[in-house]
Amino acid sequence: MKIALIAHDKKKKDIVQFSIAYENILKEHELYATGTTGQKIMEATELKITRFRSGPLGGDQQIGAMIAVNDMDLVLFFRDPLTSQPHEPDISALMRLCDVYQVPLATNMGTAEVLLKGLEQGFIDWRLLAERRTASQTN
Q: Say whether 60 is catalytic.
A: yes
Between strands 74-78 and 49-51, the pairing is unpaired
**Per-residue burial over 98-114, b = 16 or more CB atoms within 10 Å of its CB, e = otherwise:** beebebbbbbebeebee
* Contact indicator for 133, 70 with CB cutoff of 8 Å: yes
Which residue among 14, 60, 99, 125 is the active-site one? 60
* Contact indicator for 29, 1 with CB cutoff of 8 Å: yes
- C-alpha 117/C-alpha 122 separation (Å) is 9
Catalytic residues: 60
